[in-house]
Structure 1
Amino acid sequence: MENSTHFKVFRLAAYGDIGQLKYCYFTVVTVLYFAIILANTLLIGVICIERSLHEPMYMFLCALFVNQLYGSTALFPALMFYLLSDTHDISLLYCYLQIYVLYTYAITEFSHLAVMSYDRYISICYPLQYNNIMTPKTIYGLILLPWVYSFFLNSIIISLSLRLQFCGNILDRVYCDNYTVVKLACSNTMLNNIWGLVVTVLSFSCTIFPTIYSYVRILQICLKSSKETKQKAFNTCMPHIASLLNFLFGCLFVILQSMYETADLPPILRTILLVYFPICPPLFNPIMYGIRMVNIRQACKKLLGRHTKT
């Protein structure tokens, strides 16, 4: 453990010297955050109020939107503060809190998308048994399990990182990332690296592979079905697949930047790729589901029409 120092703060170097552009960036970030809060809150409210949407598929969607609001709170308030601030230091405690929220958001998002694919798989492949399989107890369990699962995995990640001693405190990021923090450590990080690999493998194997299997089986059923059934399956499954790919690409951008040197990329491009996963899915998903899913559109029109009359 050579030249280790007990740092009390990390410095987020990616903000750099942006000068007067900080007001432009702040405006863009504020508008995006407001849009995310508005879109997700609106659809959560519509699903909760409209009884016709009290079905498993929409309850899982509601859980997805809640998670997106949760994840965005880890990035946007801090991002808005540091854009206007002259100093870009973040305390160790808040840094670890930000890591915890962003990582639980990411794993929970993957898990919810896997649950939604399972729901569509049961609905399309076993329609007569759907109500017997998707009981209220099963639904609540499938909603809560991703949270418990991600909280447990990330509690171990943070507990392992808390014991580290650091040789530096400069993070080339606009937010705290566990992999980058661990790279600054002078102490032994073998346990951190092993557990990080375990979490990555578990997260992908327990979510991506079941999701792929579900949609392959759905595709097989659709190929044997009528044109009307194919169209119905397409309308319900395509938003889920688009959400999964969108979030997966965002996470891959972060992982690749953490593992490989990306100094050749323009700083603004590096930052955009880093913030893609906590910004684009929470903004993209509610808009896409609101437009693509007929029942949600009709419920929105119904509630807005009722509000206009009153």
Structure 2
Amino acid sequence: MKSNNSLTPSYFQFTVFADYGPLRYLFFSLSLLIYVTIISANLVIVLSVCLETSLHQPMYIFICSLCLNSLYGSTGFFPRFLMDLLSDTHFISRLLCFIQMYITNTCLEQELTLLTVMAYDRFVAICQPLHYHSKMTFRTVLLLLILAVLYPVWAFGYFFYQASSLPLCGNQLHKIFCTTVSIINLSCVDTTVISISSQFSSSPFFVLYTYLCILLVCRRSSSEFRGKALQTCLPHIVTVGNYCILPFCDFSLSLYIVDEVNTLVIVLSLEFWIIPPIINPLVYGLNPPQIRGVIFGYRRAGKMVHST
């Protein structure tokens, strides 16, 4: 039972960071390398789609948006995380904590809504190919992108308001960054309804349902059709699989006492901020021949310019 003596802390403390001594510089260097890799890999995809007119198609525009979202979320997470790796104390002001919480949570929700839009795009392309160009017009794509970006802003705004107005009975966060759940756990009042609804909002149910429909259509089709469908859906399936690992990591963290497994908490908490932002550009940059051709085409052009 939580205490009724509520308070509004002006700062929060991350409790799972350990004193790694000189190893902190190694962890900092590795994390900085990962951050630079994420920025570089996603920027390559974004610039390729933006600069190459042949890639101005719905699927590639959605891929570009997914990479932009990775850049947005990584920028909200890594600078503070890098600072904490080198710091002896791990305090964050209430304002910066809520800003980080807003960025990371909206990034997570936008990842889901973009994956949902991409699943719908693949559903139309595979199950209704004759109507694809009439359904996925520029206006439709623009509307879907606006909804994919604004819905998380609106939906999380509700949870953000509730979390920011909760009476808190502590200031210690058992995380490596500020999250809605970690703030809610400090509340002096019952937050069961908020916790359940926040978890439900991050469920990839519609994405999984869409791919189930595609699978059912493929079962009734020829082997050649199934092969082409699998080839075009494989990058999306890998991306959705990466996203589904996140709830597993959160569930795993809830099974342990965080003060005793600091390293495990950090590793599991880093999953979403390392694996999808790196895997997505690799999958979408190497698998679709159109994007791969543009990327390697620019490289060859660059070499020819330098050689002359």
When the two structures are superposed, what TM-score results if normalisation uses the length of structure 1?
0.92
State the one-letter code of the partner of 1:217. C
For 1:28 and 1:265, locate their aligned partners in 2 and report how far apart those are by CA, in whole Å. Answer: 24
- Say if 1:300 and 1:260 are closer, same or farther in 2 by CA, change over 3 A: same
How far did 1:189 drift? 4.2
For 1:8 and 1:169, locate their aligned partners in 2 and report how far apart those are by CA, in whole Å. Answer: 9
- In structure 2, what is the equivalent of residue 140 of structure 1? 142
How far did 1:210 drift? 2.4
- In structure 2, what is the equivalent of residue 81 of structure 1? 83
- Give the 5 Å matches for 1:20-35: 20-35=22-37
User: Could you tell me whether the CA contact under 8 Å between 1:262 and 1:270 is conserved in 2?
Assistant: no
For 1:123 and 1:159, locate their aligned partners in 2 and report how far apart those are by CA, in whole Å. Answer: 39
For 2:226 and 2:8, locate their aligned partners in 1 and report how far apart those are by CA, in whole Å. Answer: 61
User: Could you tell me whether the CA contact under 8 Å between 1:157 and 1:196 is conserved in 2?
Assistant: no
Cα deviations by residue, 1:112-166 (Å, 9 ceiling, x for unpaired): 1111111011001111100111111110111111211101111111211222232
- Say if 1:203 and 1:179 are closer, same or farther in 2 by CA, change over 3 A: closer
For 1:139 and 1:84, locate their aligned partners in 2 and report how far apart those are by CA, in whole Å. Answer: 43
- In structure 2, what is the equivalent of residue 93 of structure 1? 95
SS of equivalent residue, structure 1 residue 15:
coil
Q: Which runs of 5+ in 1 are unaligned?
A: none
Deviates more, 1:211-220 or 1:282-291: 211-220
User: Could you tell me whether the CA contact under 8 Å between 1:65 and 1:286 is conserved in 2?
Assistant: yes
2:183 counterpart (181, 184, 188):
181
SS of equivalent residue, structure 2 residue 16:
helix
- Give the 5 Å matches for 1:249-268: 249-257=245-253, 259-263=254-258, 266-268=261-263
User: Could you tell me whether the CA contact under 8 Å between 2:15 and 2:172 is conserved in 1?
Assistant: yes
- In structure 1, what is the equivalent of residue 21 of structure 2? 19
- In structure 2, what is the equivalent of residue 219 of structure 1? 215
SS of equivalent residue, structure 2 residue 168:
coil
User: Could you tell me whether the CA contact under 8 Å between 1:46 and 1:299 is conserved in 2?
Assistant: yes
Deviates more, 1:5-14 or 1:100-109: 5-14
State the one-letter code of the partner of 2:69. N
Cα deviations by residue, 1:75-123 (Å, 9 ceiling, x for unpaired): 1000111111222100011111111111111111011111111101100
How far did 1:178 drift? 1.7
2:225 counterpart (222, 229, 232):
229
Aligned pair 1:289/2:288, yes or no?
Answer: no
When the two structures are superposed, what TM-score results if normalisation uses the length of structure 2?
0.92
Identity of aligned residues (%): 34
Aligned pair 1:246/2:242, yes or no?
Answer: yes
Aligned pairs, how many?
303
- In structure 2, what is the equivalent of residue 201 of structure 1? 200
Q: Which runs of 4+ in 1 moved over 4 A?
A: none
Give me the CA root mean square deviation: 1.8
Aligned pair 1:114/2:110, yes or no?
Answer: no
